[in-house]
């Protein structure tokens, strides 16, 4: 994981949300000294810690994934965003006796999963 990219992400996130370094460290579940090291010095930081910091800055936390292919169809910040997207894919079919049948345009089953840190 690229340290400079994560550093810029963290700086923008801290400024935009008006956080202090310890508050951001608490959200990322890491030591606040690590955040200071990232922002102020060139000391090495593990890839796992960089992934944790990037995950806090990332807004999209859930994804609609094809069950058999593993293809990501949609990413959203909340579980409800993914559910809403699936519902928007539905097509209403009118039958002869005015019963409405709802069918998805997609052929494969889909699941909603929380995204891991690295995505």
Domain map of the chain by residue range?
Answer: 3-57, 62-114
Average pLDDT over residues 20-36: 91
Average pLDDT over residues 113-119: 69
User: Is pLDDT above 60 for 117?
Assistant: no
Average pLDDT over residues 35-50: 89
Contact 106, 91 (CB under 8 A): no
Residue 18 banded pLDDT, cuts 50, 70, 90: very high
User: Is pLDDT above 90 for 14?
Assistant: yes
User: Is pLDDT above 60 for 112?
Assistant: yes
Give pLDDT, residue 119: 45
Average pLDDT over residues 78-107: 75
Q: For 3-57, CATH number?
A: 1.10.260
Contact 7, 38 (CB under 8 A): yes
Least confident of 13-17, 29-33, 86-90: 86-90
Say which residue the tokens 């400079």 belong to: 4
Contact 64, 49 (CB under 8 A): no
Residue 26 banded pLDDT, cuts 50, 70, 90: very high
The structure tokens listed for 68 are: 């058999």
Give pLDDT, residue 102: 66
Would the pTM of this model clear 0.75, i.e. be above it? no
Give pLDDT, residue 44: 87
């Amino acid at each position: 994981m690229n340290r400079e990219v994560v550093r810029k992400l963290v700086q923008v996130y801290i400024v935009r949300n008006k956080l202090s370094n310890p508050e951001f460290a608490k959200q990322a579940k890491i030591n606040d000294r690590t955040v200071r090291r990232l922002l102020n010095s060139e000391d090495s930081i593990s890839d796992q810690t960089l992934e944790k910091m990037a995950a806090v800055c990332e807004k999209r936390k859930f994804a609609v994934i094809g069950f058999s292919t593993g293809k990501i169809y949609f990413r959203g910040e909340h579980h409800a965003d993914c559910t809403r997207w699936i519902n928007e894919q539905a097509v209403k079919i009118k039958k002869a006796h005015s019963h409405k049948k709802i069918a998805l345009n997609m052929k494969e089953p889909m699941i909603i999963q929380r995204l891991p840190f690295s995505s």
